[in-house]
Amino acid sequence: MGRFRDALAARGLAAIAEVKRRSPSAGDLRPDADPAALSAQFAAAGAAAVSILVDERFGGSVGDLQTARSATSAPLLAKGFFHREEQLDDLRRAGADAVLLLLRDLDGRRAAAMLARARELGLDALVEAHDASELARAVELGAEVIGVNARDLDTFDIDRGAALELVAAAPRDRVIVAESGVTARAHGAAAELAGADAILVGSALMRSPDPPAKLRDLLARPLVKVCGLTRAADVDVAAEAGADLAGFILARETPRRAPAVLPVPETMLSVAVYVGERGDAASDLAQLYARDPRTRMRGRDGALLRGDEQVARVVDRAWRGKDPEHLERARAAEGRIVLAGGLSPENVGEAIEAVRPWAVDASSSLELEPGIKDHDRVRAFVAAVR
């Protein structure tokens, strides 16, 4: 395994931050981008690797790769349209740790030859697929790092839903990178829960007034879930405040029952919350609690589901009464943890420090009355997490 692959395979969602001056679809993004300065800043901001566009159509050159190499020890991905083995030799000499291979532009023989040469040179290869047939080709080629691009390179349209299904279909023994269209934490979270090990982010960073700060924001954890939403106005405030997940309780035993899973902006993921049996409401994720056979109320903990797959454990408090073991149980739990139960603007910082959860979830502490949010407290809760 090479440095690039190893960096992406580390625990948690990794990011490849891209230096890109312009885009064929969007035009100029950051014409004066300094690859040396940005590469160093991205590495300091948490990037696992840095992608350098070396193609003149993107305002790049191999010289940019050399400049970036002089400024950072982070793994560097050379990104362009490569068809000949000698191009890989040049990129390796310029300091690349990995190269992009586009299956869209390479037939089977060329792809195999390019991948073989990359291995001879000690280069990792990010083998990019755009559809199910290309994903199958990447797997058959033995690609260790597979990119799934949400952008159609003919129309430049973004289809995150289709890309997420490809990510979910990819073998778990490969490193999977979700590419294009990541502009919010929720986009990265959706890719992570579908099975991606990393995201590649370019345009969103280059458009930002402060690219390293934007990268830190995209990678920030824990995510914030505002639950018990029943009104569109409250969804809007949660989104405006910066929440990532919108929870809609569809269980019968709560005064916070939502009429339905309401529409959410693209910066958020919707979560349908059930007790006992899972319903069929359309949502990005589902949160399911068992029903306690003695009380007929919900059990203490739940599961966060993507489709039929559990993707996180929800550690909650008992339905009624005190639960002194709440944080201890959460601290001892393994995997992705959504911490819920009794969280508020006043105590969420202490809870995060104790548990280090993947997401935090609040509902009743943010209300004026059951099902009606206090907008100031919603904003205060999100601010306390960030």
Each residue's pLDDT tens digit, 208-231 = 999 999 999 999 999 999 999 999
| Rounded-to-integer distance, Cα 239 and Cα 256, Å | 19
pLDDT of 235-290, one tens digit each?
A: 999 999 999 999 999 988 788 999 999 999 999 999 999 999 899 999 999 999 98
Q: Are strands 22-23 and 223-226 parallel, antiparallel or unpaired?
A: unpaired
CATH architecture of 3-219: Alpha-Beta Barrel (3.20)
Fold of 223-385: TIM Barrel (3.20.20)
152 CB-contact burial (10 Å; exposed 0-12 / middle 13-18 / buried 19+): middle
| Rounded-to-integer distance, Cα 188 and Cα 158, Å | 15
How confident is the model at residue 1, as a pLDDT? 62
Q: Is the pTM of this model over 0.85?
A: yes
pLDDT of 324-370, one tens digit each?
A: 888 898 999 999 999 999 999 999 999 999 999 999 999 999 999 99
Domain spans of the chain, in order of start: 3-219, 223-385
pLDDT of 7-25, one tens digit each?
A: 999 989 999 999 999 987 7
Longest dimension (CA), the chain: 71
- Average pLDDT of the chain, as a whole number: 94
Q: Count other C-beta atoms under 10 Å from residue 3's C-beta.
A: 16
Residue 295's pLDDT band (cuts 50, 70, 90) = low
**Residue 26: pLDDT above 80?**
no
| Element at 362 (helix H, strand E) | strand 359-362
Identical fold for domains 3-219 and 223-385, yes or no, is yes
How confident is the model at residue 25, as a pLDDT? 75
How confident is the model at residue 95, as a pLDDT? 97
Active-site annotation, residues = 18, 20, 79, 128, 149, 179-180
CA within 13 Å, CB half, 271:
29
Q: Are strands 175-179 and 198-201 parallel, antiparallel or unpaired?
A: parallel
CA-CA distances (angstroms) from residue 28 to 55, 65, 135, 193, 317? 14, 19, 31, 32, 51
How confident is the model at residue 8, as a pLDDT? 97
How confident is the model at residue 235, as a pLDDT? 98
How confident is the model at residue 381, as a pLDDT? 98
Could you give phi then psi for residue 52, rounded to 5 degrees? -120, 120
**Percentage of residues of the chain with pLDDT beyond 90:** 83
| Element at 375 (helix H, strand E) | helix 375-385
In terms of pLDDT, which residue wins out, 297 or 100?
100
147 close to 191: Cβ distance less than 8 angstroms: no
295 close to 321: Cβ distance less than 8 angstroms: no
How confident is the model at residue 188, as a pLDDT? 97
